[in-house]
Structures are given as C-alpha cells and as structure tokens.
C-alpha cells in the first residue's frame, strides 16, 4: 500500500513514537484502551462494564478534538497524524465494537453475522467517505457521524431488562442496521463534537451512564 508522505517529508528525522507525545493523541489512545475493555467485557458477557467502556471511548474521542483545536504549536504533521490515528481508532470503536455487541448478545449466533458485516462495511465506507471529502459546504456531516452509533446503542441497552433475551438481540440487530443505513445516507447532520456545549452534555451523559451501569455491577 502506498500513501502520500508529505507529512513525513516535513519531519524526516522524527520517530514514529514521538507522535505519542501529544495530548490529543494521548486522548485518542485512551479511548482505544476503553474500546479494548469494552470488547473484552462484551466477549465475557459483562455488558454493563462494556457499556461504560463504549461511552468513555466516545468521551475521549470528543475530548481529543476539543483539545487539538485549542492547542497552539501543533505542526501540520501532528494534525495529519492525529487525523489518521482518529480514523483507525474510530473503525474499531464505532464499527467493530458495536458489531461485536450484536454478535455477543445473540450468543454469537451465525444468523447475526450478516448484520455485523453490514455494520462493519457501512462503518468503513462512512469513515472512508469522510476521510476523502470531509464536511459538506455548510460544515455538516453527510450521513450520521459514526460515533453516534455507540452513544445510541449504550442508551438503548438501558432497556435490555424489559425484553426477553432473544427479542432484545433482534432489537439490537435492527437498531444496528438502522444506524448503519443512516451512516451512509445523504442526510446532513451537525458536527456535535465541535461545540463545547455538546462536549459538556456528553460528559454529563458519560458520568450518568457510568453511574447507572456501575450500580448494576455492585
């Protein structure tokens, strides 16, 4: 695979790991750690802990963007590297993890593999589209931003106790498919993470989710 190495030409003597010494990238990697915990707990069937990991992954993702926009002294290479890092982490956090959630709750029934596959494919297409074309002319996303998938699934999972296990697995699958379709639709949605007020609201939601799901763990 070949890529445009213009950023590398700007900093030819800079090591790969030197890019970790950047607060936005540290936040991104912290979110990846939360995603890893979420996947681990999904496989183990500890869904409350998995929901906490999923929402904290979103929180760190939003925080890294807010910090990056407020930081001075970041080079073009820093920004380009951070953007690519975000993209790779996003497919894990908002594509793979929700797909594993659907499969895990359905006891890895192979009948749910097509659902998981569509979620992954549409998530990858959505991220590739944004990476190529960015925001629309009116500074909005084309299609539902993929981080909303985790935000919504974490909320939906609060109602898990009201359904039979198999029925709720169907609900999760249906919701996952609907979100995937919205991800690649032509609807225009605002960049929620770009507004500090929305970041505060997400922080409140994150702590509330942590408290609610944390209570069920004890």
Distance CA 148, CA 95 (A): 11
pLDDT (tens digit per residue) in 150-207: 999 999 999 998 999 899 999 999 999 999 999 999 999 888 877 778 888 999 999 9
**Band (1; pLDDT cuts 50, 70, 90):** very low
Tell me, yes or no, whether 2 lies in a domain.
Answer: no
Give residue 2's pLDDT. Answer: 45
Looking at the structure of the chain, the number of domains it has is: 1
If pLDDT is split at 50, 70 and 90, which confidence band does 71 have? confident
Whether pLDDT at 86 is above 50: yes
The range of the structural domain enclosing residue 188 comes to 19-217
Q: Per the domain annotation, does 104 fall within a domain? A: yes
Residue 3 lies in a domain: no
More confident site: 31 or 5: 31
- Over the chain, what is the mean pLDDT? 88
Report the alpha-carbon distance of residue 112 to residue 167 in Å, rounded. 13
H/E stretch holding 140 reads strand 140-142
Does residue 9 lie in a domain region?
no
**Which CATH number goes with the domain that contains 126?**
1.20.120.1760
| pLDDT at residue 131, as a whole number | 86
- Rounded to an integer, what distance in angstroms lies between the CA atom of residue 90 and that of residue 35? 10
Is residue 24 in a domain? yes
Note the pLDDT of residue 7.
45
Residue 135 forms part of a structural domain: yes
């Amino acid at each position: 695979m070949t890529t445009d190495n213009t950023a590398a030409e700007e900093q030819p003597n800079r090591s790969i790991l030197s890019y970790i010494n950047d607060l936005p990238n540290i936040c991104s990697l912290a979110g990846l750690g939360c995603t890893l915990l979420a996947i681990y707990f999904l496989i183990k069937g500890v869904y409350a802990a998995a929901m906490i990991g999923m929402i904290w992954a979103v929180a760190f993702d939003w925080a890294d963007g807010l910090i990056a926009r407020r930081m001075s002294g970041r080079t073009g290479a820093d920004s380009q590297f951070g953007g690519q890092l975000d993209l790779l982490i996003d497919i894990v956090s908002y594509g793979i993890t929700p797909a594993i959630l659907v499969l895990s709750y359905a006891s890895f029934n192979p009948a749910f593999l097509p659902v998981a596959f569509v979620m992954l494919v549409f998530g990858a297409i959505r991220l590739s589209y944004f990476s190529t074309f960015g925001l629309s002319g009116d500074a909005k996303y084309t299609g539902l931003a993929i981080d909303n998938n985790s935000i919504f699934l974490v909320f939906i999972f609060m109602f898990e106790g009201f359904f039979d296990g198999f029925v709720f697995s169907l609900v999760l699958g249906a919701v996952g498919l609907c979100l995937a379709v919205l991800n690649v639709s032509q609807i225009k949605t605002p960049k929620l993470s770009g507004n500090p007020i929305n970041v505060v609201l997400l922080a409140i939601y994150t702590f509330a989710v942590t408290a609610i799901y944390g209570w069920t763990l004890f």
